[in-house]
Amino acid sequence: MLPDLFGGMDELSRLLLSTVFVLIAAAVSRWQHADLEKDLLIATVRSFVQLILIGYALELVFEQDSPIFTTLILVIMISIAGYTSGGRAKNLQKPRIVGTIAIGIGTILTVGTLLLLGVFEFVPNDIIPIGGMVVGNAMSTATLVMTRLSVDLKEQRLLIESKLALGATSRVASLSQFRKSIRGAMIPIVDTTKTVGLIKLPGAMTGMILAGASPVEAVRLQIIVMYMLVGAATFTGLIASYLTYRNFFTPDHQFVT
C-alpha cells in the first residue's frame, strides 16, 4: 500500500533516506542538551501520519469533485489554523475565536476574490491547494498580530490610559500599537515578495518544476500565489488587529481590567 502511495519502492526509499536530517537534528539537540529529541520524534511521526491521511482524503475528494466536500475541507483547515493561532495569544479573551474569525474572513475574501476574477474555478484540484496556502499564510499573520498587539497594549497601558484621560478614543489612543502590529505582520510577506526568485524558489514553483512543468509555467503560477498571499496577509492582519484591539477596550473607551 505504501509503495503505491509513493510511486514505488524507489520513492519510498528516498523518503526514508530524507529522515537523516531529522536524525542529525536530534543528534545536535542531544549533543547541546536542548532536549528537543522527543518533540522532533513526535513532530516527525505526526507529520508523516497526517500527510498520509490527507493524501488519501484529498484523492477521495478529488474523485468526488463535490463543492460540499471542498468547502468542508476548507472549514476544517480554517478551524485548525484558528485553534493553533489562538493558542499563542495568551493575553486575549477567547483568542481561538479571534484567530478563527480573522483567518476565516481573510481566507474567504482572498479565495472569493480569486473566484470572482476567474483566476481559479471552484473545483477541489484548484481550491484545496490554493486554500491551504492562503490559510497557512493567514494563520502566521494572525498569530503575529495577536501576540504582538496584545503585548504592546499591555506594556503601553499607562500611556494609553493617559491619552484616554485627555479625551482620546480607544482607537486613537492605541493607534500607534495598532499600526505597529500590522506592519510587523506584513513585513515577512513583503520581504519574501521582494526577494522571490533571487534568494529562493518558492514551494509552488519548485513543486511544479519537480513534477515536470516548464519553468515559465511554474513562474506564472508562482506570481499569482505570491500576490494572493499578500492579499491574504492584508485582510487577515487588519481583521486580527481590530478584533485584538477591541478585546482590550469597553464600548465606553475604557481599558479592560
Residues 22/28, Cβ–Cβ less than 8 Å:
no
Q: Which three cell numbers stand for residue 3?
A: 509503495
pLDDT of residue 2: 47
Q: Where are the domains of the chain?
A: 1-64, 67-247
Q: Output the DSSP codes for 51-105.
A: HHHHHHHHHHHHHHT-HHHHHHHHHHHHHHHHHHHHTT-TTSSSHHHHHHHHHHH
At 177, the amino acid letter reads Q
Which residue is it, cell 490554493? 130
At 97, the amino acid letter reads I
Closest of 88, 85, 101 to residue 242, by C-alpha: 101
pLDDT of residue 256: 79
pTM over 0.75: yes
β-pair partners for 185: none
Q: What is the pLDDT along the chain (257 residues), one digit of tens a residue?
A: 444 555 554 667 777 788 889 899 999 988 988 888 899 999 999 988 888 888 888 888 888 888 888 899 899 999 999 999 988 887 788 899 999 999 999 999 999 999 999 989 999 888 998 999 999 999 999 999 999 998 898 888 899 889 988 888 888 988 899 999 889 888 988 888 888 777 666 777 777 787 777 888 888 888 888 899 999 999 999 999 999 988 888 888 888 76
Q: Which helix (H) or strand (E) holds 117?
A: none
Number of H helices, E strands in the chain: 12, 0
β-pair partners for 255: 249
Q: Output the DSSP codes for 3-57.
A: HHHHTSHHHHHHHHHHTHHHHHHHHHHHHTT---HHHHHHHHHHHHHHHHHHHHH
- Rounded CA-CA distance 189/254 in Å is 34
Residues 111/128, Cβ–Cβ less than 8 Å:
no
